[in-house]
Amino acid sequence: MKTKAAVLWEVNTPWSIEEVELDPPGPGEVLVKIAASGMCRSDEHLVTGDLPFALPIIGVHEGAGVVQEVGEGVSWLSPGDHVVFGFIPSCGRCPSCSTGHQNLCDLGALLGLGRQVDGTSRHHAKGQDLGLMCMLGTFAHHTVVNEASCIKIDNDVPLDRACLLGCGVVTGWGSSVYAAEVKPGDTVAVVGVGGIGANAIQGAKLAGAKRVIAIDPVE
């Protein structure tokens, strides 16, 4: 099928809206129509070259959408299901996933390659294979991703809000709950109250912090 996506062809150049030829999902893969996508600072690092992913690449890794088609072997998702993408895949079966450390999933080692798990690409433009930011590429109307990158959600959750769960919410939450290990009664200072900081505040509060101090130059 044909779709459209924002492609980065070279560092320090603008995103280019391109018509993309999208292959059907292969085994263990899912075709998703993207309803909403956020944009993270990490995606800007693609443009500057601070994240040296292989180019050309479809950007952005924070999205939500509706499943259109599933590949062979995908049994837990069906067309019509609503999903949020996880910027780190979680297969649920590797040693890390099976011991509760999904952030260290073996498939995460493939993030920098920007391709499918089998090393091939489902996205093509101008005669070239396209990479995907975090194996997702949500700056597009449609994408094909591995099932390990999908989290099924209730269909009544607004997708324009749900997409933020793919990066900003979990990153901010995790910075308080997991990185800082906030405990009941703690006093917590959050420096910078943008998308990440706002969710760090929520994480700290729900972890039991007694005081949360928000520090930001914008009153």
The catalytic residues are 40, 42, 45, 61, 167
Burial per residue of 121-141, b for 16 or more beta-carbon CB atoms within 10 angstroms, e otherwise? bbbebeeeebbbbbbbbbbbe
Helices (H), 49-178: 95-98, 159-162, 168-174
Element (H, E) at 128: strand 128-129
d(CA 166, CA 39): 10
Distance CA 107, CA 149 (A): 10
Nearest 5°: CA angle at 134, between 137 and 69? 50
| C-alpha span between 219 and 216 (Å, rounded) | 7
